[in-house]
Homo-oligomer: A and B are copies of this chain.
């Protein structure tokens, strides 16, 4: 495995989940795998969970880590080719990526979308250029359209918590005041559609009209604008806001009535509630849910370590001899 940027880099979700469970049971059992190896974590945007969970995963594998907050510590990057760089940008991504590849054995990169230009964001040009020019294996730490380490941790959490062989999982759009990327819901949907193919879940998406996600990510999912309908009999409710894909990057409604509450939970089969965090209490999700017994949000965050560790271990095994 040369890279981990989407579910398409995974041969079998069933196998990967089993691998992650094995690693979780023996997190320090592989600490020679990363010996003498350096993981570089490159952030073009803020991070708490992703940085710390991935650092912890690397530490468990005996790797050295170097973090660079490019926006704050480094130089403004130029992404476009064949421009005269006589403006604000100081370094081209071609050089920046290649140099980072000289210092690190594996690189992770976080590059959020601008939410101004759909084609640009969905072409994943920053991630793709980074991969092209750095010359070493790359892990996405959340790109313009996907957040695969999160989705992997989410699937792991669902499998750990499921009490049925094929639980009903509902992705439910949530209210918000700001325009957020589609990366988390795209990615979760992509993973759940695949999980459904592998017989691991039944997957339903619900959101207001005009909030349809790009079809590439939702093939196989049941999609409905009726939240109550979707929630019926659900075993897991994955709560997440996103801005419109069709009217790109726009907040079309705050949508307060879409917030999951204990009352709405009554429609479900005592569903567990998930969120990738950070979550805005009282807006995206009711306090009573987050403080109640059905919330899985901290367990999800905890599983980020083991998702990252599984991915790093696979990359180490594939690309380096010990």
Contacts and interface: CB of A to CB of B under 8 A. Distances in A.
A48 B298 contact: no
A321 interface: no
A95 interface: yes
A66 B56 contact: yes
A305 B52 contact: no
A277 interface: yes
A167 interface: no
Contacts of A267: none
A10 to B, nearest CB: 24
One complex includes copies of this chain to the number of 3
Contacts of A283: 84-86
Interface stretch (A13-21, A72-80, A141-149): A72-80
Nearest to A279: B95
B277 A91 contact: yes
A38 interface: yes
A177 B47 CA distance: 33
A66 B72 contact: no
Contacts of A74: 46-48
B64 A280 contact: no
B277 A103 contact: no
A75 B98 CA distance: 30
Interface in A45-81: 46-49, 51-53, 55-56, 59, 64, 66, 68-70, 72-75, 78, 81
A281 interface: yes
Q: How large is the interface on A (under 10, 10 to 19, 20 to 34, 35 or more residues)?
A: 35 or more
A102 B302 CA distance: 5
Contacts of A290: 94-95
Nearest to A176: B86
A187 to B, nearest CB: 19
**By CB atoms of chain B within 10 A, which of A95, A104, A297 has the most?**
A95
A227 B98 CA distance: 30
Nearest to A102: B302
Interface in A74-132: 74-75, 78, 81-86, 89-92, 94-96, 98-100, 102-104
B48 A279 contact: no
Contacts of A282: 82-86
A239 interface: no
